[in-house]
Amino acid sequence: MWVVLLLTLAVFCILVNLGFWQLSRSEQKAAIEQLLQVREQAPAIKIDELHAVEFEYLTGAKVSADLTPLEGRYLLLDNQVFQGKVGYLAYQLMTSRSGLKVFLERGFVPAKAQRDQLPDVVWINEPIYVVARLYQRSVNPLSDRLYMETASPHRVQNLNIEQIGQIWEENIEPYVLQPMSSDWPYPQPWQPVPLSAKKHLGYAVQWFSMASVLLILGGWVAYRLLISREKI
- 3-state secondary structure (DSSP) of residue 116: coil
| Number of compact structural domains in the chain | 2
Does 150 or 122 have the greater pLDDT score?
A: 122
CA dist 92 to 145, 153, 229, Å? 19, 9, 74
Check whether 52 has a pLDDT greater than 60: no
The angle at the Cα of 77, spanning 118 to 79, to the nearest 5 degrees, equals: 85
Note whether 61 and 46 are within 8 A (CB).
no
Residues 65 and 93 reside in one and the same domain: yes
Half-sphere exposure of residue 60: CA atoms within 13 angstroms, side-chain side: 18
pLDDT at position 42, please? 78
Residues 113 and 170 reside in one and the same domain: yes
Residues 157 and 221 reside in one and the same domain: no
Residue 216's pLDDT band, with cuts at 50, 70 and 90, is: confident
Residue 50 belongs to a domain: no
Residue 184 belongs to a domain: no
Residue 208 belongs to a domain: yes
Residues 116 and 82 reside in one and the same domain: yes
| Stretch 198-205: mean pLDDT | 85
Picking from 62-76, 137-151, 152-166, which range would have the lowest pLDDT averaged per residue? 137-151
* Domain assignment of residue 144, given as a range: 61-179
pLDDT at position 172, please? 94
Residue 227 belongs to a domain: yes
Burial string for 25-60 (b: 16+ CB within 10 Å, else e) reads bbeebbebeeebeebeeeeebebbebeeeeeeebbb
DSSP run (H or E) holding 38: helix 2-41
Residues 23 and 132 reside in one and the same domain: no
Residues 166 and 74 reside in one and the same domain: yes
Residue 54 belongs to a domain: no
Residues 130 and 83 reside in one and the same domain: yes
Give tens-digit pLDDT for 4-35: 677 778 888 898 899 888 888 888 877 777 77
